[in-house]
Structure 1
């Protein structure tokens, strides 16, 4: 579970964002700006990021605050799982990224696999819908839902993408250093559980 200070900071951010969107009174708007500043200060204190960077993260958020959606593709070949090496942190992750407007979750999974690994796939099964705060990821300023979708290779070949440095398949007992912000070891084991038992129910939360 995420720490309390992070939960409070996110709740303050959500309250301020909604208030700044729907309030008309100038004094209320000032109060909501103060609440947003408080959430920024909390995050800056505990994450060691500077206030300006954190405020810029929130500056592009308008309207009623809702969770972001991160879609990850689960792809197997010969009992090994497809992973890509992220050039941002050097860790390995399931191909994926933010959900795109106009795309279904499965379309995002297919697109991300192609862009990050070079393989053509088709989506076959929903593996999990997870709340990032319930898993051992590093702290994040956003509330994020992670959708894991199993896919089957139908073509293409391994090739690096703009955001990836390498493409490989790994056995469950030979996992590389992971990009923990994107996926955890327990989530990879969950994916293998679905490989070994196709009737495994969808995991959630």
Structure 2
């Protein structure tokens, strides 16, 4: 399914859904962040996705990271909660989703990065390499917050 991100775009379609979703900021022992290149829009992003029925939200973070990257993690904290109403995602099936994303901090447990149906590339990325990648501004905000030594999670 194709996906178009609208960010601070007054011409964006009006949202017709809000879905609880997660992203996960996890680093390896060299301080690099785990990123995927999405198959639906080609952009680089943190692993993540929507919560399933019967699932604790931290379980969503672990499951989505495993499904998209092949890497096992454990949730250790919270980077932030991202609810900007001026960020909507338009899907080819007609859904227009207002952003509601919880970004967790995770600890690498085991596994080697590998692709999936949702990721055409998966790799550990150093902070200095981020400028070379196509990353949506809202995702870049989460990544920057993950790298920042914040005492409290971002809420916005």
TM-score interval, smaller chain = 0.7 to 0.9
Question: How does the TM-score come out when normalised to structure 2?
Answer: 0.79
The Cα of 1:202 is off from its aligned counterpart by 1.1
Question: How does the TM-score come out when normalised to structure 1?
Answer: 0.62
| Residue in 2 that maps onto 1:119 | 71
Alpha-carbon distance in structure 2 between the residues aligned to 1:128 and 1:71: 10
1:172 paired with 2:124, answer no
The Cα of 1:122 is off from its aligned counterpart by 0.6
Alpha-carbon distance in structure 2 between the residues aligned to 1:174 and 1:84: 14
The answer to which structure, 1 or 2, has the higher relative contact order (CA under 8 A, 6+ apart) is 2
User: Which of 67, 90, 100 is the matching residue for 2:42?
Assistant: 90
1:203 paired with 2:154, answer yes
Higher Rg: 1
User: Which of 131, 135, 157 is the matching residue for 2:83?
Assistant: 131
Q: Which has the higher strand share?
A: 2
Question: Structure 1: 5+ residue runs without aligned partners?
Answer: 14-64
Q: Which has the higher helix share?
A: 1
Question: Structure 2: 5+ residue runs without aligned partners?
Answer: 1-6, 91-95
Alpha-carbon distance in structure 2 between the residues aligned to 1:70 and 1:132: 13
User: Which of 133, 142, 145 is the matching residue for 1:190?
Assistant: 145
| Residue in 2 that maps onto 1:143 | 98
RMSD of the TM alignment (CA)?
2.3
Deviations 1:123-148 (A, max 9, x none): 100111111325xx466422221100
1:107 paired with 2:59, answer yes
